Amino acid sequence: MSDAIKHECGIAMIRLRKPPQYYIDKYGTAAFASTRLYVLMQKQINRGQDGAGVANVKIDTKPGTRYISRYRSIEPSAVNYIFDKINRKYKKAKKIGGHDALTDGNWLKENIAFTGEVWLGHLRYGTHGENSIETCHPFLKQNNWRSRNLVMAGNFNMTNVEELFDKLVQLGQHPKEKTDTVTVMEKIGHFLDEENQRIFDKYKHQFSNEQITQVIEDELDMARILRRSCRDFDGGYAMAGIVGNGSAFVVRDPSGIRPAYYYADDEVIVVASEKPAIKSAFNINFNSIKEIQPGHALVINKDGSYAESEIMPAREKKSCSFERIYFSRGTDPNIYQERKNLGKALIPQILKAIDFDLKNTVFSYIPNTAETAFLGMIEGLEDYLAAKRREVFVDGKPHMGDLDELLSFRPRVEKLVSKDVKLRTFIANDEDRDSIVANVYDTTYEVIKTGVDTLVVIDDSIVRGTTLEKSILTTLDKLNPKRIIIVSSAPQIRFPDCYGIDMSRMKEFVAFRAALALLNERKISNTLDQVYEACLSAPYSTENFVKGVYSAFTDDEISEKISEIVTKEDIKAEVIIIYQTVDNLHKCCPDHLGDWYFTGNYPTTGGVRVVNKSFVNFMEDKNVRAY
């Protein structure tokens, strides 16, 4: 994506189902779990580079023994930094316990940190707020009773933080922060405490307190806790947690907005945000990896048994389509094919824009994640040419050109744009920064016919349009083409996201800026006041009033105005912007229909409130997020 945006975090969990000694004997290492968690996290590094964290819980340790360990970091290479520290624990074991210590699972568990059975890792992209060690997951809620401790990490944003905060206050709590992470953990922690108390009251006349502690750990009902906790949540979430007794869970929102996958065999239970990470870490068949269903939780009990339980009634599945377009790694075979299909679906629009003149058109992409869509686009062109040949040679339709050329013609494909990593815009003052930004991308010269060729360059998505305006179009224009066509494999982004992507301010969207310009040109800018009044008069409405900003215009009219906005006066070539259609997006990604940023159709009521509030913030010139 040429417009860099921060987005959804990543989670990784491993639960060992055998005693520690089993893995040492079978795999020849005490670092079986930590090594595989490292791979799980590195293979999801695309999901978060602001920070990382790892927690480990030991099951059934003796009193007086530390059983929860945690490292967090905001170092530039946070994952490597954390696992370097964990690896030092194994070096320490050898130093204090001798060479044989690394082959003694029980000794390691009793004496060395990060040798427990349950592991939880997190990769953070901070979409809002500060980036500090305190904002890194996993978070820890501590208690002197083992089964009341809670470690949590997640990929989520809640749209109703104020409501959740108020409910905690009504319960008598005094939360230290008004953030979704803290409120969610405290909410689950509250019902974890109540579940402990429920079991205690059930057995208090049958066992001693010491005995009841063990009974509580064995009978803890995580599904019940999550059902009571999650009923007030509004947002997109895939949240993972470990209780101090060793129970664990991963719970997913009822619309399936945020992704979560798992694999289980008799040795391990593994959870991650992306399937390729599990595939890489454990070298298993993709078909063995399952998706946690919307509204369900994968609950892992202290004894290692597990089940997927319904926590909230599932709604229509609206998993984030941006995962398929851009965020998730394209090594997932389904995502790879979907991205190719997205490129192929654009062919009719592209052919129309170039007047079907393939001979004088060069195709390329903006590095690097758009490459797969680019391959699909080229496949689509090949299919088009094959159909034309079939019409002439099989169906006998007339052809005005040279038949040999028709047989041999191939689309002209070039690598035109590459990023010059040596240029650093942050070292420049404000006056010089724009001129440096314009040169961040480099291009390949002497492959374009001056004033004749059309350039077609595909991108994953065009969010703000600033990189196009300040850099890419300037770079491409230096090649002196007749026309530059920028193709987005995603539809126009018109509405803010509130479920984990850094797209929350209306005025930053180039599609919104285009709509404002059209309203002004057609002298119907009073539409803004009408939408504003509707948002103010019904702040809890389930109707997205902001759709009214776009309702007077076709998709093509918005695209044409975007083309004007991103084209600076000194650009000589004609510039055309083409966007994917929403219908084609759904056809290409039929199982991932979350499209609220394109259509304004939010899967939760909180999402609708956020978009209306975001518009109010725009009208009142408040540069803050709406949730």
Q: What are phi and psi of 177, to 5 degrees?
A: -145, 155
Instruction: Label each residue of 416-442 as H, E or C.
Output: CEEECCCCCHHHCCHHHHHHHHCCCEE
Chain segment 510-531, per-residue pLDDT in tens: 999 999 999 999 999 999 999 9
pLDDT at residue 1 tops 70: no
Cβ atoms of 181 and 154 within 8 Å: the answer is yes
Is 60 exceeded by the pLDDT of residue 43?
yes
- pLDDT score for 381: 97
Share of the chain above pLDDT 90, in %: 75
Backbone φ and ψ for 583, nearest 5 degrees, come out as: -60, -45
Q: Quick: pLDDT tens for 556-593.
A: 999 999 999 999 999 999 999 999 999 999 999 999 99
Which pLDDT value is given to residue 368? 78
Q: How confident is the model at residue 208 (pLDDT cuts 50, 70, 90)?
A: very high
What would the pLDDT profile of 262-317 be if each residue is shown by its tens digit?
Answer: 999 999 999 999 999 999 999 999 999 999 999 999 999 999 999 999 999 999 99
Record the tokens describing residue 395, joined without a space: 């169906």
585: left (phi over 0), alpha (psi -120 to 50) or beta: alpha
Task: Please give the domain boundaries of the chain with CATH numbers for all domains.
Answer: 10-317 (3.60.20.10), 323-508+555-601 (3.40.50.2020)
Tell me the C-alpha distance between 357 and 331, whole Å.
34
pLDDT of 424 over the 60 cut: no
Q: Which of 8, 550, 544, 553 is nearest to 273 (CA)?
A: 8
Model pTM?
0.92
Report d(CA 313, CA 295) in Å as an integer: 6
Mean pLDDT of the chain: 91
Give the amino acid at 240.
A
User: Between the CA of residue 314 and those of 117, 160, 215, 232, 275, what are the distances in Å?
Assistant: 31, 19, 32, 14, 22
Q: Which residues contact 417 (CB under 8 A, 6 or more apart)?
A: 364, 365, 366, 367, 441, 442, 443, 457, 472, 475, 476
User: Would you place residue 107 in the very low, low, confident or very high pLDDT band (cuts 50, 70, 90)?
Assistant: very high
| Residue 433: pLDDT over 50 | no
- Count of alpha carbons within 13 Å of 451, Cβ hemisphere only? 0
